[in-house]
Structure 1
Amino acid sequence: MICRCGLPTVIRTTWRPANPGRRFYCCPKPEPNDGFQDWVDPPMCARSVLIIPGLLNNMNQLQETVRENAAIARKNASKARRFKIMLGLSWLFFVMYLMMK
């Protein structure tokens, strides 16, 4: 398909609530461009239009939770490393104390 500007169109995906996940042809130029040209996919059933936004919302919330948990895990790994070093040093000092007696 050719755009009104003469360039071949590109396929993009819309995530707007009315047409979530539906692909469309549009101008390849960055803004300002000729925008929407035509749909690639047929219209979705009403149930899909209702369900997909909720699934996307759940997915985004889960991804945020994963990011938060990964940050907590990195912080805990750093603390564990410090505690191992402190434990090793305490044993070293304990052994040195016993040897000096």
Structure 2
Amino acid sequence: MSNSSFSLSSSSSIPKGVCLCGVKAEIKTSWTELNTGRRFFCCKTSKARGECNYFDWYADEMPPQAKKVIWGLLKKVKSFEEERNRSRKFKVICVGAIVILATWNFFKKCS
């Protein structure tokens, strides 16, 4: 989302936070690196039902330091999640290998 996206100014005949289709706009949060944590208004109507593409920032932009901190925390969370997933896969592989070796050893002794 960029500041050049379509938006309505306060001087428009439609009040801020109301879609072009006349419905109260939904408030969402941006999680892009450029606008991390910044909230914005958008149309509630789904694109399949002809969303009016209304967009307007909810409030002033966050200070650069706050954006930097939030983005850094999001990166750390993603890194921890990726490490957790790798660890889970490794555990599954190890348990699978143990089961296969135990089964092989069992049948080897039986024959």
Q: Same fold (TM over 0.5)?
A: yes
- Corresponding residue for 1:44? 62
TM-score (norm 1): 0.70
Tell me the C-alpha RMSD between the 2 structures. Answer: 2.3
Question: % of aligned pairs identical?
Answer: 22
The structure, 1 or 2, with the larger RCO (C-alpha pairs under 8 Å, 6+ apart) is: 2
Deviations 1:49-84 (A, max 9, x none): 111112212221222222222222212111111112
Does residue 70 of structure 1 match 2:52? no
The structure with the largest alpha-carbon Rg is 1
What is aligned with 1:35?
54
Q: Which runs of 5+ in 1 are unaligned?
A: 94-101
Which runs of 4 or more aligned residues in structure 1 lie more than 3 Å from their structure 2 counterparts after TM superposition?
30-33, 90-93
Flag the structure with higher helix content: 1
Further displaced range: 14-23 or 27-36: 27-36
Q: Distance in 1 between matches of 2:102 and 2:27?
A: 54
- In the superposition, the TM-score normalised over structure 2's length comes to 0.65
| Structure 2 residue ranges without an equivalent (≥5) | 1-16
Matched residue pairs, number?
Answer: 92
